[in-house]
Amino acid sequence: MAKKKTAEEKSHYVGIIGLGYVGLPLAREFCIGGAKVLGFDVNTPMVNKINRGKSPIKHIPNSHLTDMISTGRFKATDKMNQLSKPDTLLICVPTPLTENREPDMFYVEETCKTIAKYLRKGQLVVLESTTYPGTTRELMLPILESSGLKAGKDFYMAYSPEREDPGNKDFRTSTIPKVVGGLDKSSLDMALDVYSCAIDTLVPVDSCEIAEAAKIIENTYRCVNIAMVNELKQLFDRMGIDVWEVIRAASTKPFGFKAFYPGPGLGGHCIPIDPFYLTWKARQYGMATRFIELAGEINTEMPHYVVTRTMDALNDKKKSLKGSKVLVLGLAYKKDIDDVRESPSLELIELLKEKGAKVDYNDPYIPQTHKQRDYDLQMKSKNLTAKMLKTYDVALIATDHSDYDYKWIVENSQLVIDTRNATADVKKGRKKIVKA
């Protein structure tokens, strides 16, 4: 493993394409490491906001942006004709799925086409977006070589998957070991040299394909294990057994067991999506990835299961879901962040509305919804007060934010549907709580 260099050892000029949840934290680490960073994004209002020192991401404080800008090390731009300026270009754009659960490489392809227009000799191009094995060599290489320049001779290519975990206070971008694979040895050496000023520990591998596969297997591992506990949650519910208590007990074994926890579905840009990139690629080799596809089916059905549990709980109170008022607590895909990408809360809201419920939401980090690829809820977060909480037939805990006072929520709610075991320590009012 390679170790981080100090700013004095090497100076770099890095371009980062995509200033979202991956690109902006990476830009911060490069600035801290002594590099000069030019950030690229097609979202002009966001670029202007960033240049004013206003962070669009909760876990990147405004003060960090201000420091980056005031030192002269960072600037954001929407002018793609400046792509020839940096020595290194890091691509941090979305890699979503199509409606048929196949890789949607539009953003990667369009980014590479734009880079090809301005690519110059000596530049290094690195993809950080999660993708299927073969993307760098099979998809990106021909597009970049359409510039007339030859990879490995005139310019260089590598793949180094992002490993961001928003809200994780134990790690930051610089302290998470970074896997790096090059198109050839020269490309690998260049990529390691660049990343060494921003990342503490580098993990070089023999090819781009190995690095691409490493990222896919990380998220597939989590997807499959989460699917298992989601299925067990449904089984244990029928058996009258608390799945969270089962996991807590099993976790006392000091070896051979790693705890994964159930929830209302999978969220975030990685785990719900990445395994299907591998499934798609496997079909090209005549192989079905049954584990992955089964895990996907189970996780995808979890919002439906939560809605069914809500209907049953209301039925026990001689109420119908149709016409009931439901307050969804938490819109983010996990606790203490402002990221709603692939959040199961979005589907929960739509499913509840389809069943005739009157639905509102509260999230301390997300004051209002914004248009997304599959959703346009056009909703605003409701202020959480005891008086308003009492007016709802159901308080549905979809995200277990630390800001919530769960004892207070239970006390002031008629019925609580808890999908995260957030009310585990609440003693009073247990009869109001239904775990789902």
Any idea which residues carry the catalytic annotation? Answer: 270
Q: Write out the two tokens for 356.
A: 């005739």
Q: β-pairing, 358-362 with 88-91?
A: unpaired
User: Counting Cβ atoms within 10 Å, is residue 252 exposed (0-12), middle (13-18) or buried (19+)?
Assistant: exposed
| Residue reference for tokens 């979005």 | 346
Q: Write out the two tokens for 146.
A: 């359409």
| 169 Cβ neighbours under 8 A, 6+ residues apart | none
C-alpha closest to that of 127 among 96, 149, 158, 97: 158
**Alpha carbon distance 19, 46 (integer Å):** 9
> Contact, 193 vs 35, CB < 8 A?
no
- Centre a 10 Å sphere on the Cβ of residue 122 and count the other Cβ atoms it contains: 12
SS (H, E, C) the chain: CEECCCCCCCCCEEEEECCCCCHHHHHHHHHHCCCEEEEECCCHHHHHHHHCCCCCCCCCCHHHHHHHHHCCCEEEECCHHHCCCCCEEEECCCCCECCCCCECCHHHHHHHHHHHHHCCCCCEEEECCCCCCCHHHHHHHHHHHCCCCCECCCEEEEECCCCCCCCCCCCCHHHCCEEEEECCHHHHHHHHHHHCCCCCEEEEECCHHHHHHHHHHHHHHHHHHHHHHHHHHHHHHHHCCCHHHHHHHHCCCCCCCCCCCCCCCCCCCCCCCHHHHHHHHHHCCCCCCHHHHHHHHHHHHHHHHHHHHHHHHHHHCCCCCCCCEEEEECCCCCCCCCCCCCCHHHHHHHHHHHCCCEEEEECCCCCECCCCCCCCCCCECCCCCHHHHCCCCEEEECCCCCCCCHHHHHHCCCCEEECCCCCCCCCCCHHHEEEC
